[in-house]
Amino acid sequence: MTTAQFYCQCCTTSLLRKKYVLKDDSPYCVLCYDRIFSNYCEECKKPIESNSKDLCYKDRHWHEGCFKCTKCNHSLVEKPFAAKDERLLCTECYSNECSSKCFHCKRTIMPGSRKMEFKGNYWHETCFVCENCQQPIGTKPLISKESGNYCVPCFEKEFAHYCNFCKKVITSGGITFCDQLWHKECFLCSGCRKDLCEEQFMSRDDYPFCVDCYNHLYANKCVACSKPITGLTGAKFICFQDSQWHSECFNCGKCSVSLVGKGFLTQNKEIFCPKCGSGMDTDI
């Protein structure tokens, strides 16, 4: 470039012994260059002139002094940062705003650090401890209560109930029978081992029995039909001198008329109405 040609490309002012800026191999005086080509700072909205450093991120520009965390206002120059919703954040502010918070200490779980998740909440690994012994639970089995999370040994020591049948810990659910707790899977008929959770059952000496086993083993039998007499479904029965009848079976042994609420005569455990029993050698 000859001295004769050394003029500002825009205003044609001579650039001899003056500061200038080359743009696409063309010289511009500082004033023209700043007016035409300067980027505007995202923060202060002022032009970033040629005598200032222009920091660029994703086609956005900042003065060096304006390139700061939008939350804590600390400089981000030559420091790691992240963007959220077009806001620039230092790594600490980004973690506080975007990372999970520990359910126990309420502090941020920093990116890259190990965290534990349980029931939609997060813990630092060192904060995820048994409520009783304060030892880290990690990935070991645990049992949760309103008061906190417990390792299995502490839960069994502090809270557990034991099954009356298998003597093992009941961790959830269970059935109460005769003031004793049972696992649902252990609450079986003492006779046939049938599952009683959804069934009617009877009790004998604090042991549960299904209706069929109880009737077979323990129920009194009707003198007339020999079938068991149970109190299920409100069934009525008649009792006389250690003998029992279903109410519908308490009939005259000769004419079959019902004797419920009526006088009757007996002969060898048979019952008769007064008419049919007259003249018989009856017991009463």
Please state which of the ranges 36-40, 83-87, 109-113, 280-284 shows the lowest mean pLDDT: 280-284
Distance CA(195)–CA(213), nearest Å, equals 13
Q: Round the average pLDDT of the chain to a whole number and report it.
A: 85
Determine contact, residues 158/151, Cβ cutoff 8 Å.
no
Prediction pTM value: 0.38
Q: Is the pLDDT of residue 284 over 50?
A: yes
CB-CB contact of 244 with 229 (8 Å): yes
Any idea where the domains of the chain sit in the sequence? 234-284
pLDDT above 60 for 116: yes
State the average pLDDT over residues 144-173: 86
Helices (H) and strands (E) in the chain, counts: 5, 22
By three-state DSSP, how is residue 72 classified?
coil
pLDDT of residue 233: 57
Least confident of 24-33, 70-79, 171-180: 171-180
Q: What would be the CATH architecture of the domain defined by 234-284?
A: Ribbon (2.10)
pLDDT digits (tens, 9 = 90+) for 167-176: 888 877 788 8
Q: What is the pLDDT of residue 62?
A: 93
Is residue 249 very low, low, confident or very high in pLDDT (cuts 50, 70, 90)? confident
* Per-residue confidence band for 4, with pLDDT thresholds at 50, 70 and 90: very low
